[in-house]
Copies of this chain bind each other. A is one copy, B any other.
Amino acid sequence: MASLLLNPIFSPISLFHTHSASLHFSKPFSISLSQSHSIKCSLSHRPDYFPNRIPDPSYIRIFDTTLRDGEQSPGATMTSKEKLDIARQLARLGVDIIEAGFPAASHDDLDAVKMIAKEVGNYISEDGHIPVICGLARCNKSDIDAAWEAVRFAKRPRIHTFIATSEIHLTHKLRKSREEVVDIVREMVAYARSLGCDDVDFSPEDAGRSDKEFLYLVLEEAIKAGATTLNIPDTVGFTLPSEFGQLIADIKSNTHGIENVIISTHCQNDLGLATANTLDGALAGARQLEVTINGIGERAGNASLEEVVMAIKCRGKELMGGLYTRINTKHIVMASKMVAEYSGLQVQPHKAIVGANAFAHESGIHQDGMLKFKGTYEIISPEDIGLNRSNESGIVLGKLSGRHALRSRLLELGYELDGKELDDVFWRFKAIAEKKKHLSDLDLEALISDEIFQPQVIWSLGDLQVTCGTLGLSTSTVKLIGVDGVEHIACSVGTGPVDAAYKAIDSIVKVPVTLLEYSMNSVTEGIDAIASTRVVIRGDNSHTSMHALTGETVHRTFSGTGAGMDIVVSSVRAYVSALNKMLGFKHTPVKKTSSETSRVSA
């Protein structure tokens, strides 16, 4: 069983006891001692937490909604276990508020939020920080009940409730008058408070396109009813930075009682301006910024945590009146990798901060300028975000390396493995080391990811045999072992080796599945690289959830990953992994809501 590595500063983390393996990051927090132009960690104190005020006016709260808004991206469905892993990583990052999900969407969603509230919501770091655990709810009693039922186990629970306020949404989606909306807001915010929740966040959806006078009115009613944070979303990603900043400034100037609550931003990225809009929101007075890791989210996603946090870290003191966050940026790279892996939303090579090329120059060879003075072309040092340069991490293990060497290296990489987990990884390691002379850190991470980031095993791969090419009929024979230990063997022809193997698996597993996505990447250079495959599947209609903003039923999709030196084998591993994830998903049907009732918001 894996246990969390203690961080020398943030300890003890004793509440992180779990029976599932999870990703651990062991690098100690330390001040960057690099060149004068790289970034220094702020040592500012994190102010005490009060729902509706921040003792230090320069402090910015980071509200991460990767698990709610991010998870609603196409294909990004995560299991409860994956959500818990990410929530832990968010706690390590020092995120102030973790929006853990939309509990009314399904029982699975509710359970995931509850688990995060219990485990991560009771984590106390040495500086006294406890992440707020937040659940989303539409402005109706059953949603708010579900949210409270899930978050109330956290030390700092929050309910986040929303309703649209733009004319276009009122007319076309809600079909309500302005007066009706104001009544709903007043009643539902008060209802959330009445449950015992003293931390209520209210969002006027599509605020960016709402009539300002009506917006002020709605916000005033929310404050009077007990809201402690007012989140201003630019739902369609339509605003320019100056415009969004002005919106926040106007709200601050024109809303009675606004001085007693926190203003928050939530910017979609449809025009590529989410990060800039968020920063202008902060400059105009917002003190909570809603973001996601890697900027994932519906359509073009949200403002990304890493961009917003690093911009404030780089320029907050000089250009933003001393604004600062308490995000421990050294955990950014691991958070980014984990979210990319679990959500299946890979970041592009030129993604700011976390893209593969973000710190690379052409061919990795343009090092001259860097050696002369790192600041010439680089303003953030890779170490600031927890990135080890690949040429520094180097090649570390070979086929003669033993279990102890493997365990030590994994420990350095942040994974503490023991017992069966270590055995399994070691066995795979030796099998690959037999064929590949040296295994780099990247190889090890791919293996770990394959072994650890796997769902509950229902079917496991025994053997696989494949014949294919341009000349004949592609044929695969597959041996799967069921949860009962019984071996099943099937063969099939197909249009290619993967098609043949998947058909053979289907003939054993016998559940209807549609393959939605299939992708593969080599994780290291060289022809003998380890290939990492990812598939996304959709099962039958019993795997459903509800969309937060529209209330519509959406079909769950499940991703699986597999690693190996044989691309057909890794493809099969990925497919079996996705099947296991789907079969293990608690597909309690969503409470039946017709599309008509779902529109009724109270």
Complex Cα spacing A523 to B440, Å: 31
Of residues 147 through 202 on chain A, the ones whose CB sits less than 8 Å from some CB of chain B are 168-169, 171-173
**In the complex, which residues of chain B have a beta carbon less than 8 angstroms from the beta carbon of A435?**
495
The digit string for A358-396, where 1 denotes a CB below 8 A from any CB of B, is 111111111011001101111110000000000000000
- A144 CB to closest chain B CB, in angstroms? 22
- A275 CB to closest chain B CB, in angstroms? 4
- A272 close to B (CB within 8 Å): yes
- A583 close to B (CB within 8 Å): no
Complex Cα spacing A494 to B349, Å: 29
Stretch at the interface among A2-10, A59-67, A405-413, A548-556: A548-556
What does DSSP make chain A's interface, helix, strand, loop or mixed? Answer: mixed
CB distance A362 to B73 under 8 Å? Answer: yes
- A260 close to B (CB within 8 Å): no
- A87 CB to closest chain B CB, in angstroms? 21
- A502 close to B (CB within 8 Å): yes
Contact among B236, B364, B521 for A519, CB-based, below 8 A: B521
The answer to whether residues A240 and B315 also contact, given A348-B351, A497-B566 and a CB cut-off of 8 A, is: yes
- A413 CB to closest chain B CB, in angstroms? 22
CB distance B467 to A467 under 8 Å? Answer: yes
Stretch at the interface among A115-123, A216-224, A510-518: A510-518
Name the residue on B nearest A308 (C-beta): B272
Most buried by B among A345, A494, A528, A567: A567
Number of copies: 2
Name the residue on B nearest A526 (C-beta): B515
Interface residue count on the A side (C-beta < 8 Å): 129
Contact among B37, B380, B469, B518 for A568, CB-based, below 8 A: B469
Contact among B270, B355, B515 for A352, CB-based, below 8 A: B270
- A44 close to B (CB within 8 Å): no
**In the complex, which residues of chain B have a beta carbon less than 8 angstroms from the beta carbon of A301?**
350, 357
The interface of chain A, by Cβ under 8 A from chain B, is 37, 72-75, 168-169, 171-173, 235-238, 240-243, 269-273, 275-277, 279-280, 283, 295-301, 304, 307, 310-311, 314-315, 319-320, 345-353, 355, 357-366, 368-369, 372-373, 375-380, 435-436, 461, 463-472, 474, 476-477, 494-499, 502-503, 514-522, 525-529, 531, 538, 547, 550, 552-555, 557, 564-569, 571, 595
16 A-B contacts (beta carbon < 8 Å): A74-B364, A75-B363, A270-B358, A348-B351, A363-B554, A365-B554, A366-B547, A366-B554, A464-B469, A465-B472, A466-B466, A474-B566, A494-B527, A496-B565, A515-B526, A515-B527
